[in-house]
Amino acid sequence: MRLISHPVLCNYYLTYRCNATCSFCDIWEKPSPYASLENVEQNLKDLKRLGVKVIDFTGGEPLLHRQLDKFLGIAQNMGFITTVTTNALLYPKYAERLKGKIDMLHFSLDYGSPEMHNESRGVACFDHVIESIQIAKELGERPDILMTVFEKNIEEIDSIYQEICLPNQLVLILNPVFDYNETKTGAPLSLESLNSLSNWGKKKWIYLNQAFIALRKNGGNHINQPVCKAASSTIVITPENKLSLPCYHLGKEEISIKGNLFGIYKSEEVKSLIKQEGRLKECEGCVINCYMQPSFAVEINNYWWKALPSTLKYNIRKGTWKRLINR
């Protein structure tokens, strides 16, 4: 049963440029402009009309955009929940400008070892994460640690949790890795690893969407009975100011917005593309968290119930739950 009929999340790609070269991501390989203030401001107005609640300003590395603080301020003034994930290389430089403007601030950290984390990211950023934690805390921010979990680094959860998150009272978000397009991430998470992740998700100061685990155990999205609601739950905007459908990772269609996001999203062309969400041949077996998270939130099914406890747990801690349920 469909619970929410409108999109709830916008993945707003401010640029595809990045100052890291992570092996499990291909975004940094793409040439890219930067989103303009004029376009962002107009699109935010239309996103509000469309019912979107959360704006994820993303990239690439979103802190490379020198107007990020302005975008965040506009979004918060309009009542959006804001979220930013960063490798933390630039956070110490811009922390003061970003203070109080990000509801969900995530620092990426995949290993407890500086050498291993830096190698995986292609740049020395471990020390910047540690420095950024202290700066954020001094500014009264409540950052999270976002860990992308692979088969090869699952044993690192303990050290990140015990040595970094607990002493600093930071939420550790466990983000199971996923393949997409030609980007491969190594061996898939084994059943043993999925069970281990599920157990970690029950601990204090750890967030894991248990529906992610159930979806992987069930073989991902199935095109004959799709769970993915990517295009109807999530709006993806590119740095070129285009609407990407049915999702960024497939990017089958990109439609120029030209100052009329609301009208375009309501058009017959987009409605036709939305009907294909989760049903394209490339959608078979998909487990991309970026779209499954909002998909689980808009339709009541087994995944909705599995996602609910962890979603409430995280949003109560962040103080954003009232704004999420106020439709």
pLDDT over threshold 80, residue 185:
no
pLDDT at residue 120 in the model? 92
Q: Which tokens go with 323? A: 């704004």
State residue 178's pLDDT score.
86
CA–CA dist 257, 270 (Å, integer): 12
**Count of domains in the chain?**
1
DSSP 243-297: EEES-TTT--EEEE-TT-HHHHHTSHHHHHHHTTTTTSGGGTT---HHHHHHHHH
Output 152 or 322, whichever has higher pLDDT.
152
Q: Look at residue 11 and give its three-state secondary structure.
A: strand
- Please report the pLDDT score of residue 327 as a whole number: 47
Kindly report the average pLDDT of the chain as a whole number. 94
**Banded pLDDT at 27 (limits 50, 70, 90):** confident
Report if pTM > 0.75: yes
Given a contact cutoff of 8 angstroms between Cβ atoms, the answer to whether 160 and 172 are in contact is yes
Could you tell me the pLDDT band of residue 110, with boundaries at 50, 70 and 90? very high
* H or E element that contains 173: strand 171-176
Task: Examine residue 172 and state whether it is found in any structural domain, yes or no.
Answer: yes
Q: How confident is the model over 43-54, as a mean pLDDT? A: 98
Question: Given phi > 0 = left and psi -120 to 50 = alpha, else beta, which region is 219?
Answer: left
pLDDT tier, 177 (very low <50, low <70, confident <90, very high otherwise): very high
Look at residue 290 and tell me if it is in a domain.
yes
Reply yes or no on whether the pLDDT at 180 is more than 80. no
pLDDT at residue 254 greater than cutoff 60: yes
What is residue 184's predicted lDDT score, i.e. its pLDDT?
66
Q: Is residue 4, in this structure, part of any structural domain at all?
A: no
What is the band of 273 on the pLDDT scale with cuts at 50, 70, 90?
A: very high
Mean pLDDT confidence for 9-29? 90
| Count of CB atoms situated within 10 Å of the CB of 142 | 16
| pLDDT the model gives residue 85 | 98
* Residue 1 belongs to some domain of the structure: no
Q: 289: closest CA among 29, 7, 11?
A: 11
Phi, psi torsion values for 96, nearest 5 degrees: -65, -40
Encoding tokens for residue 18?
């990045």
- Structural contact between residues 191 and 219, judged by C-beta atoms closer than 8 angstroms: no
Among the residue ranges 16-30, 148-162, 207-221, 290-304, the one predicted with the least confidence is 16-30
pLDDT of 156:
97
Binned at pLDDT 50, 70 and 90, residue 280 comes out as very high
Per-residue pLDDT tens digits for 52-98: 999 999 999 999 999 999 999 999 999 999 999 999 999 999 999 99
Residue 251 has pLDDT above 90, yes or no: no
* Residue 259 Rama label (left phi>0; alpha psi -120 to 50; beta): left
Q: Which helix (H) or strand (E) holds 48?
A: helix 37-50
Beta bridge partners of 10: 55, 235
Residue 96 domain-assigned? yes
- What is the domain extent for residue 270? 9-325
Q: What does each C-alpha distance from 124 to 58, 89, 258 come to in angstroms? A: 21, 9, 39
CATH number at residue 211: 3.20.20.70
Best CA proximity match to 188, nearest among 24, 9, 21, 72? 24
Percent of the chain with pLDDT over 70: 96
The model's pLDDT over 227-249, given as tens digits with 9 standing for 90+, comes to 999 999 999 999 999 999 999 88
- pLDDT exceeds cutoff 60 at 41: yes
Counting residues of the chain whose pLDDT is more than 90, the rounded percentage is 87
